[in-house]
Amino acid sequence: MENFVMAELARHLTWSEIPAALYHYRDRDGHEVDAVLEDNSGRVVGIEVKSAQSVRAEDLAGLRYLKEKLGSRMHAGYVLYCGTESLSFGDGLGCLPISSLWTIR
């Protein structure tokens, strides 16, 4: 699922109005974020991918760590998952259905 979403994100970047680079983050202590999008001004959006139908608090751990590390550079963080609801977890973090990659809102 992660590879599929990464490929979709890369495809979206080819036509995005905001140029951004796509990275994977993992440090030596094991903190990980599946996708990190960074625009030319240094703003970052982190994305975790989960194949589950629901999101648990621990699914946001990597995003919370990245937000703590980057501070104001972290624009937002999302868990993309196989559920159907879009939810906010506060502090710029939330979850979206994977299908939102193809839905205009």
Distances (CA, A) of 78 to 28, 64, 84: 23, 10, 14
Token pair of 2 as six digits = 């992660």
pTM: 0.92
For residue 105, the model assigns a pLDDT of 55
Q: Cα–Cα distance between 79 and 48 in angstroms, integer? A: 5
Do 56 and 87 meet the contact criterion of CB atoms below 8 Å apart? no
For residue 25, the model assigns a pLDDT of 97
Element (H, E) at 91: none
Exposure b/e, 65-90, CB count within 10 A at least 16 = b: bbbeebeeebbbbbbbbebeeeeebe
Could you read off the pLDDT tens digit of each residue along the chain, which spans 105 residues?
Answer: 999 999 999 999 999 999 999 999 999 999 999 999 999 999 999 999 999 999 998 999 999 999 999 999 999 999 999 999 999 999 999 999 999 998 865
Q: What's the one-letter identity of residue 102? A: W
For residue 11, the model assigns a pLDDT of 93
Q: Cα–Cα distance between 64 and 25 in angstroms, integer? A: 13
Q: Which domains does the chain have, with CATH numbers?
A: 2-102 (3.40.1350.10)
